[in-house]
A and B are shown apart, each in its own frame.
Chain A
Amino acid sequence: NAGVTQTPKFQVLKTGQSMTLQCAQDMNHEYMSWYRQDPGMGLRLIHYSVGAGITDQGEVPNGYNVSRSTTEDFPLRLLSAAPSQTSVYFCASSYSQLAYGYTFGSGTRLTVV
């Protein structure tokens, strides 16, 4: 089924560990973004990309790296996990034209202990 696939759905990390959250879309969307949502809070933009090879920082980029080597994939890397990064992470994608809305993945729930 077409859509945005995020893996894993759940993850527990120890402080200092690194990991990559995967995001893949099969709709040939140019735009992809990563958000985090802390409990009871709104979505905050971490990093985004407007096409393969192009990425930029959002509101809260510290502690995260991204790359966009293909149109389909946009992985988010946590360099050294901290308890403050405990959150739900959402990936989203869209065509560049404004006639289309963003499609979101179902999220990755990350706990850092």
Chain B
Amino acid sequence: DAKTTQPNSMESNEEEPVHLPCNHSTISGTDYIHWYRQLPSQGPEYVIHGLTSNVNNRMASLAIAEDRKSSTLILHRATLRDAAVYYCILRPRNSGNTPLVFGKGTRLSVIA
């Protein structure tokens, strides 16, 4: 299975943009890039996903490198509520029986 590498932790000031990186150098052409986050004492929640093109939704933006070996989750204005562990996960397009498997993720701290 293709693996992802994320920094253990990052820190951001409130109301500033945050760029959370993810390296996936062994990604295959059919792997989707998914992001989830887990707020303290809660279950994970889906944030965004993409294949090749950059993606935007109400929560965040996903920027995917042209060679697809890395991606960046962008929070445009961090709030205290965005403090969470963020997970970058690769999912094959034909995932079939492949479940969601979590790595260690990046713990984001937001400073007021």
Interfacial residues, chain A to chain B (CB-CB below 8 A) = 31, 33, 35, 42-45, 48, 50, 56, 58-59, 90, 92, 94, 98, 101-107
Contacts and interface: CB of A to CB of B under 8 A. Distances in A.
Interface of B: 32, 34, 36, 38, 42-47, 49, 91, 93, 95-97, 99-105
Please classify the interface of chain B as helix (H, G, I), strand (E, B), loop, or mixed, using the class held by over half of its residues. loop
A106 B100 contact: no
B55 to A, nearest CB: 11
A106 B34 contact: no
A107 B44 CA distance: 10
Contacts of B42: 106-107
B100 A33 contact: yes
A101 B91 CA distance: 11
B49 A50 contact: no
A43 to B, nearest CB: 4
Given A98-B32, A98-B91, A101-B34, A45 B46 contact: no
A92 B100 contact: yes
A56 to B, nearest CB: 7
A30 to B, nearest CB: 11
A56 B47 CA distance: 26
Contact of B103 (A42, A105, A107): A42
A104 B45 contact: yes
A94 B100 CA distance: 10
B27 to A, nearest CB: 14
A107 B43 contact: yes
A90 B44 contact: yes
A106 B44 CA distance: 9
B60 to A, nearest CB: 12
B43 A104 contact: yes
Nearest to B102: A43
A50 B104 contact: no
Contacts of B105: 42
